[in-house]
Amino acid sequence: MTNLGIFNTLSEFVIIRINVASEITHFEGWVESKKHLDYDLWYIEHGEIELRIQNEVFIVREKELVLFSPRIAYTATIISKSCTFTFTHFDFSLGEHTHILDNFDLTGILHRHLVEQEIQMYLEAYLQYKKSIPMSAIRLKGSLTMLLSKIIENYGNGQYTGEFNKYLKDTKNIADDMTNLQPVFTYIQNNYSTSIRIHELATIVGMSEKYFISYFKRAIGVTPGRYIHQLKMNEAKKMLFSKKYTIQQIANTLGYSDAYSFSKSFKTYYKVSPSEFV
């Protein structure tokens, strides 16, 4: 099973950028054949659309969403008298990985009831955005983040599996990257309180250290060292907020040689010392 925990561990490295948000009405006879440069999310307000991807046909009905990958070509045809839908073109990257969502079976057709609250917030934010209300662009981005998070959550708990990823030419390689790294994620999670060496992780998956670093970065968007450091910093924040541990105890728990080394690392990352953080 793929590791969705990377979105929690590396949340500070997630970048979502809305390129276009709009709505459109098409009438009988409309046909569109495209492959977008970014991710695209449709919400069908009324009407029905036939989607053809390679030789397979999908029907998208009223109150359903469609998430497209930038690497999948499709042909859309109206099969009702008219159809109105909102569409949002966006980029979603994790570190340097600009197609991280393609690591999971997320692209496909999703019914509204799975994201009822999130889509309602997004549509309300979109109406404000359309009227150029102050701060509406930030609200729109925030609500899109919540909507995408809910879609990923539904995928993680088995309530939704997208059907479009099988049309990616390198879909097997994408899935394999995450699957092959699963033992590494497990090892890091169980041993982040020690000083983990990169060559140890490379050995787990039978790779040379140099190749492992590039392989990990290609799959996740950050180096394994960066991933481990971020995990330690996340745990440090939790321990500091709990106010149950001394700086020395936190340093010991996270595998630092002494409190000074931990404090220096923490301040370099957060620009404030652990004692001043809370």
What tokens appear for 273 in the block?
């010392």
Q: Is 208 helix (H, G, I), strand (E, B) or coil?
A: coil
In the predicted model, is pLDDT for residue 1 greater than 50? no
The CA distance from 61 to 64, in Å, is 6
CB 31 within 8 A of CB 76: yes
| pLDDT at residue 4, as a whole number | 79
| pLDDT at residue 171, as a whole number | 53
Banded pLDDT at 5 (limits 50, 70, 90): confident
In the numeric block, the tokens 């359903």 are attached to 64
Q: Which residues of 201-227 are buried (b: 16+ CB within 10 A; e: fewer)?
A: bbeebebeeeebbebbbebbbbbbebb
pLDDT > 90 in the chain, percent: 75
pLDDT tens for each residue of 107-130: 999 999 999 999 999 999 999 999
Average pLDDT value for residue range 168-178: 64
The CA distance from 1 to 7, in Å, is 15
pLDDT tens for each residue of 176-229: 777 889 899 999 989 988 888 999 999 999 999 999 999 999 888 899 999 999
pLDDT tens for each residue of 139-152: 999 999 999 999 99
Domains of the chain: 6-167 (2.60.120.280), 171-277 (1.10.10.60)
| pLDDT at residue 82, as a whole number | 97
Task: Pick the range with the lowest mean pLDDT from 32-36, 161-165, 218-222.
Answer: 218-222
Average pLDDT value for residue range 43-53: 97
Banded pLDDT at 2 (limits 50, 70, 90): low
Average pLDDT value for residue range 101-110: 92
In the predicted model, is pLDDT for residue 172 greater than 60? no
Q: Is 247 helix (H, G, I), strand (E, B) or coil?
A: helix
Average pLDDT value for residue range 154-162: 94
DSSP 196: -
pLDDT > 70 in the chain, percent: 96
The CA distance from 131 to 6, in Å, is 36
Amino acid at site 69: S
DSSP 97: B
Banded pLDDT at 166 (limits 50, 70, 90): confident
The better pLDDT of the pair 42, 180 is held by 42
The CA distance from 24 to 126, in Å, is 13
In angstroms, the Cα distances linking 59 to 47, 80, 160, 191 are 11, 11, 17, 47
| pLDDT at residue 29, as a whole number | 93
Phi, psi of 22 (to 5 degrees): -160, -175
Half-sphere exposure of 126 (CA within 13 A, CB side): 19
- Edge-to-edge strands of the sheet including 14-27? 14-27, 82-94, 39-46, 64-68, 108-111
pTM of the shown model = 0.85
pLDDT tens for each residue of 74-94: 999 999 999 999 999 999 999
H-helix segments, the chain: 6-9, 116-130, 136-156, 171-191, 198-204, 209-220, 224-242, 247-253, 259-270, 274-277
CB within 8 A of 83, min separation 6: which ones? 25, 26, 30, 44, 46, 47, 48, 49
| DSSP collapsed to 3 states, 134-180 | CCHHHHHHHHHHHHHHHHHHHHHCCCCCCCCHHHCCCHHHHHHHHHH
Average pLDDT value for residue range 237-248: 92
